[in-house]
Copies of this chain bind each other. A is one copy, B any other.
Amino acid sequence: MSKNKVKIGLIGFGTIGTGVVKLIQGNARGLKARLNADLVLARIADLDLKRKREVKVNPQILTTRVEDILADPEIDIVVELMGGVEPARRFVLEAIRRGKSVVTANKALLATAGDEIFRAAEKNGVSVGFEASVGGGIPVIRALREAYAGDKIRSLLGIINGTSNYILSKMTDEGSRFEHVLKRAQEKGYAEADPTLDVEGIDAAHKLAILITLAFGVRIKLNQIYTEGITRISPLDVEFAREFGYRIKLLAIAKDQGPKGIEARVHPTLIRADSLLADVKDVFNAIYVVGEALGPNLLYGRGAGMMPTATAVLSDLISIARQKLSGVNTGIPGRSLPDTQIKDVRVRDIKEILMGYYLRFSVVDRPGVLSRITGVLGRHNISIASFLQRGRMAGAKVPIFLLTHEALEKNLRAAVAVIDRMDVVRDPTCFIRIEKNLE
């Protein structure tokens, strides 16, 4: 490789790809100053070369064949921005096999095939950068990999899906229904036509899997993460959470519980209205990390979008280019630990976790109902912290709202199953977990 340039091949010329090209073109001088070499965009592969894009590139570097990038011995770093697991996985592995480093924003790929990719990278002495895979331009990967490396991470709580956070923020600010806000989010381009990955918590689970490996040095499979989305949250829940002094957020939560194992879960969560995460609104993301020595750290910013995500790709490109230029392989391709040091995880069953709960019952307004419900809760070792009822109408269906003290999830579920079979209960009970360990 020539020592005065680093050549890049880009796979996927969509939104983020366009942002990356913009940054490389716009900051060429700054990049050269940092690297004392040129970052050259040598080749771009995309199936659709006709589409109008916000940047101009030399048409000769465009190709529809990824092979033109993979087979080019002059290309040092492959940037994979096509998304999805296949054929991205195949292209990334092939690039690595041919001695190229890889930068990717593909959380689905890393969450499902990360082990295979990092192992291949280690074997071939190349780097894999993935700062753009979680939290857009928020430097959370770098922080976990390097900044907190001398500490033991205790817990990590993140708002890492912008679409869900946008929907919950609007439901909170406007009292709107989920379906209504989702439709608006789709019109604005904040949500996909098929929003399942976002609103069912799957995208957040992909990202949490990546963060867990970095934070705790363990490998985790997607199906080990308890995942629940926001589709069943009603405006009533948002309103009464607020009355109790809380906000509802889709949180990705990971905690190291020592010998008991790791907690790994994504679900709607009540957090105190005066906590910093409660102020993370719209499409913004934030990751709250607590280290044994560090205490709490919060990293906040835009979690998606063309330009913020492109800055994360660039930061990886610069770091890897520096390594290439100095002729180094640091031996750790992208994670904080070599593959042999990453342990198998023991994940705690959510049923064994102690949490507080928000409960919404839908009951017939009749004397004695509350006492029957609290009786069932009591028999399941669940005690009440607060209670609210609004709008009385004898004989009609009314909601009752409760907050519980900490209880075992299996007890909570058992109690709810009993309550939902009562004659005075009209609709299935809604319960939302509460997270207290936040400043």
Contacts and interface: CB of A to CB of B under 8 A. Distances in A.
B307 A297 contact: no
B31 A150 contact: yes
- Copies of this protein, total: 2
B139 A147 contact: yes
A127 to B, nearest CB: 12
Contacts of A279: 274, 276, 279
A19 B312 CA distance: 32
A117 to B, nearest CB: 20
Interface in A1-56: 19, 22-24, 27, 30-31, 33-34, 36
Contacts of A298: 286, 298-301
Contact of A311 (B151, B315, B327): B151
Contacts of A323: 330
A230 interface: no
A380 to B, nearest CB: 37
Nearest to A331: B326
Contacts of A315: 146-150
A311 B315 CA distance: 23
Contacts of A291: 137, 311
Given A143-B139, A315-B150, A326-B329, A294 B300 contact: no
A293 B311 contact: yes
- Complex A-B, nearest 8 residue pairs according to Cβ-Cβ distance, in ascending order: A150-B314, A139-B147, A293-B307, A297-B301, A298-B300, A33-B341, A137-B294, A328-B328
5 contacts: A34-B332, A150-B311, A295-B305, A295-B308, A297-B301
